[in-house]
Structure formats: C-alpha cells, structure tokens
Structure 1
Amino acid sequence: MIHFTSTQVELWIGAFFWPFLRVLAMLSAAPVFGMGSMPVLLRVGLAVLVAVAIVPALPAMPPVQFGTAGAWMLVVQQLLVGGAIGLSMTLILSAVQFAGGVIGLQMGMGFATLFDPVQGVQVTSLASFLNMITLLLFLAVNGHLVLLAVIARSFTLLPVAPNLGLSMQTWYALAQGGGAIFSLGLALAAPVVGVLLIANLGLGVLTKLAPQLNLFAVGFPMFFIMGFLALYLVMPVMQNVVQHLVDVGLSLSSQVLQQGGAR
C-alpha cells in the first residue's frame, strides 16, 4: 500500500498552486485579460491552463505548510508579483487612451463620453475607440504571448521564496511607469494636436478678418474634419506605435522583476 506524508502532498499542491496565483494576478491586471467584461470563470480557467503548461519548466517550489503565516505571506507575494507584471503593460498601453482624451478635447468632443468596459470609467468616445484599436493591435503583435513569456521567466528572476518579494524600488519603478502615461500620451497626441492648433490659429485670423462670422457654426465642423483627417493619416503607423509600447511595457516589467529579485 502506498503512503504519502503531508509534506509530500503539500509540495505537490504547491508546485501548481503558487504559479497559479501569480498567473491569475497577472491576467487580472493585464490588458485584454483584465477587462471587466471578461467572465471571472474564464479568467480563472485560463490561469489554470497556463499554470499547468508552465509548471514542468519552472524551478522547484519551496516546501510550505498551508495555513501558516508563511503560506499567507507567499499568497500575498505571488498576487503582488503577478499584479505588478500585468499592471506594467496596462500602464504603458493606457497612454493611447490618454492621447485619445487629449485629442477629443481639442476636437470639441469632450461632451461625447462613453463607459469604457476596459477601464471601468467614463471616457470620451474617441479615447474609447483608440483604446479598442490598441487592444486589437496588442493581440495582433502577440503582446499576450509576450506577457505569458514574462510570467514564465519571472519564476527565475523572482522565485517563490519566503524571503523574496517586491522592494520599494519596484513600486517606485511602477510609479515612474505611471508617469510615462502622460509623456507617451502627449507624444502620441502631438501630431493631431498640432494640426488642430494650426486650425485654431487660422480660425482666429479668420475671425479677426470677418468679425460677423459665426464662430460656432464654422469652428466645430472644421475641427472635426481636421481632427479626423489627421487621425486618418496617423492610423497606418498605429501598429508600430503599439509595438513600441509593448516593448516599453516589457522593459518596465523586466525592471520590476530584476529590482525585486535583487533585494
């Protein structure tokens, strides 16, 4: 008759349980997978499949007795690490939505707001449109596969261990990544905002030359036409933009893992 000790059983369960927690936290915070419209059961099932697929290639998990304080600390650690990886990519891709909000306000579309199911907040219709385009391109350039590769590599850079975790430098790096939303967003919006600025200057000169001109009757249609024309010219390079953002998000997530593992 075969007998198993409690330590052996806990080791076998932990070999799957700790990677599952990290993958689930990453999927909950990552683009596309973390959408509010995605069913929770689907997200959990996907985390189970990914964990089962990567477990054979991972280093050995530490023996931890479940129910102890050390086990709960490891649970929190895995959730934080996975969430930080997913949040790194989400922060960088949010720059496109910020750029859409800036462009929408300059075009006079600030009154046209929608509920964005991805972020769960009210945004301008143009920002929501650009965000959906970005998520589609994110899937087209295999950004989701990049995230899965990062989460698998994270167990080497930041293994499951009671004495390892995310340091203060890690959270500082994430805060700096949040600041990149504004710099990258303004850089993405600059071409369209520049066209609209020229249109504003032209409208101002036209108003001085013809004071009887109805500013609202001419300004809004002109801003719409110029803004959408500029967006039409920018759209062909959106794939390159999203690819660059994925690379920046990958660099940020690698920085987070390296700083956490170096503590």
Structure 2
Amino acid sequence: MDFLMSNVFFHIDIVLLVFIRFLGFFITSPVFGGRDIPSYSKIGLSFIMSTILISTMPDITVSYNDNILGYVLLILKELVVGMLFGFIVYLILSTFYLAGQLIDYQIGFSMINVLDPLSQIQIPITGNFYYLIILALLLVTNGHHKIIQALFYSYNVIPIGEAIFNSTMIGNYIIILSDIFILAIKIASPIIGAILILDVALGILARTAPQMNMFVIGLPLKLIIGLVFLMIITPLLNMIYNFIAEELFRQLFIVIKGLMP
C-alpha cells in the first residue's frame, strides 16, 4: 500500500493524464456514463483505474512543453481520446435503438416513446426493450470488464500524448456508422419483411374488395404480427448479442490502432 501511494504521488502529473483518459471514457460510455450514475462515482472509478494502471505500468513517461499551456493541451488531448473510445461503445449499442425505431415504424409504435433512464432522452419503446436486454447480457457476460481491458490496452499502443487524429480515424468512424445501419436493418428485417408481405396482401384485398376499410383492418393486424415476431425474435437476442459484442471489440481495437503514432 505504501509503495502504491508513493508511486502515485511521485508521478502525479502522469496520474492526472491517465485519469483524464479514463474519465473521458466513463463520461461517454453508455455502460458507465449514464446520467443517473453520480459524477463522484465516475471520478472515483477513474482515479482507481488510473492508480492501478500506474502501479502495473510504472515505466510510463510523458513528454510535453515545460509550461502550463503544454500540459493543458495534453490534458485536452487525453480527454478527447477517452471520449472517442466511449463513443465507439455508444455507437455500437445504439444499433438496437435504430433497429427498434425501424420496427416501431412498421408496427405502429413510432408515436410511442419512453424515457431512457441512462441517457435521459426519448427513445422508441422496442429499441429501449432491445437495448436493456443487450445491456444486461453485456454485464452478465462481463463484457464491461473486456471494455476496460481494451482501455488498458490502449496505453500500450497509444502512449500518453502521442495519439494522432487523422483521416484514418475519421474513415474508421464512417465505416462504423455504415455498419450500424446495416446491422440495424438486419435485426429488424424479419418484422419489416412480414409487414411488407402484409401490406401487399392488404393492397390486393383492397383492390378486390374496395368496400372494406383496409386502414382499420391493417393497423391491428400489423400490431399483432409485429408482436408475434417480437416474441419469436427475442429468444435469439443472445445470439445477436454475441455477434454485436465481437463487432464492438473489433471496432474498438481498430479505432485504437487508428490513433497509434
């Protein structure tokens, strides 16, 4: 314990920079950065992680201009690096928000939004349902431990103050955004396909029996079919989570390597 405290206070400037990267990650990451989580908890967890890192990697060195401005710029750079890592986690998990929005639009739930207690924003009800299940699976399978492990790994390949923000990083984020849309459409495709077939059937029925009100008939049918398919798809979320988790860590490591000097 004495060695830990002496090592931390001896390298207080390095500890602060390590702390800032962890803090930026915990602010933007949906697993740790919810608004319902007290700020003191995020700060305390960031400090604990930074002291552990300094104790396990005592050879960390930092080079910066020998003035307060150079150190402040270094702090801002580390904060941005941490926030970029947390934003990756947020983007990947937002796939289920987008998939839920597509599903709700098809079955008539697009007018219903619920308040997400983590982000304090209005989100689609099906998207919130999917997101909470995936978040529970992430915690149960210790996925948050792997995310923190990836953040620890970032200090091996991206030393403090040596991250490079270039076109490669921007290209990686563009690829991630395109993958999110593709994955969301794949997740929602069974219900979208079923509703499309129903719309075609209702269109044919409207031409053969124009006296029938297809709008009144179609709304409850879409809702019933949508709920039935949700019941069928929900048990498969565990398999979907395994794929999304692999994609999350793959994209996270790609971004980490894209910031390497």
Normalising by structure 2, we get a TM-score of: 0.88
Alignment of 1:1-263 (within 5 A): 12-58=11-57, 59-62=59-62, 68-161=68-161, 163-261=162-260, 263=261
Pick closer, same or farther for the CA change 1:111–1:47 going to 2, 3 Å. same
Task: Map Cα deviations across residues 63-95 of structure 1 (whole Å, 9 max, x no partner).
Answer: 668862221121112111111111112111111
1:23 touches 1:82 (CA, 8 Å); kept in 2? yes
Measure, in 1, the Cα distance between the counterparts of 2:126 and 2:66.
Answer: 49
Measure, in 2, the Cα distance between the counterparts of 1:9 and 1:154.
Answer: 20
What is the Cα deviation at residue 103 of structure 1?
Answer: 0.4
Measure, in 1, the Cα distance between the counterparts of 2:167 and 2:9.
Answer: 31
1:98 touches 1:127 (CA, 8 Å); kept in 2? yes
- Which deviates further from its counterpart, 117-126 or 27-36? 117-126
2:81 touches 2:163 (CA, 8 Å); kept in 1? no
Moved over 6 A (4+): none
Measure, in 2, the Cα distance between the counterparts of 1:18 and 1:199.
Answer: 57
Measure, in 1, the Cα distance between the counterparts of 2:198 and 2:61.
Answer: 61
Measure, in 2, the Cα distance between the counterparts of 1:9 and 1:255.
Answer: 31
Measure, in 1, the Cα distance between the counterparts of 2:23 and 2:54.
Answer: 14
Measure, in 1, the Cα distance between the counterparts of 2:66 and 2:218.
Answer: 66
Measure, in 2, the Cα distance between the counterparts of 1:66 and 1:43.
Answer: 30
1:54 touches 1:152 (CA, 8 Å); kept in 2? yes
What is the Cα deviation at residue 119 of structure 1?
Answer: 4.1
What is the Cα deviation at residue 214 of structure 1?
Answer: 2.6
Structure 2: give runs of 5+ residues left out of the alignment: 1-6
- Which deviates further from its counterpart, 112-121 or 219-228? 112-121
Q: CA RMSD in A?
A: 2.2
Q: Count matched residues.
A: 254
Normalising by structure 1, we get a TM-score of: 0.88
Pick closer, same or farther for the CA change 1:65–1:233 going to 2, 3 Å. same
Letter in 2 for 1:169: T
3-state DSSP of counterpart to 1:165: coil
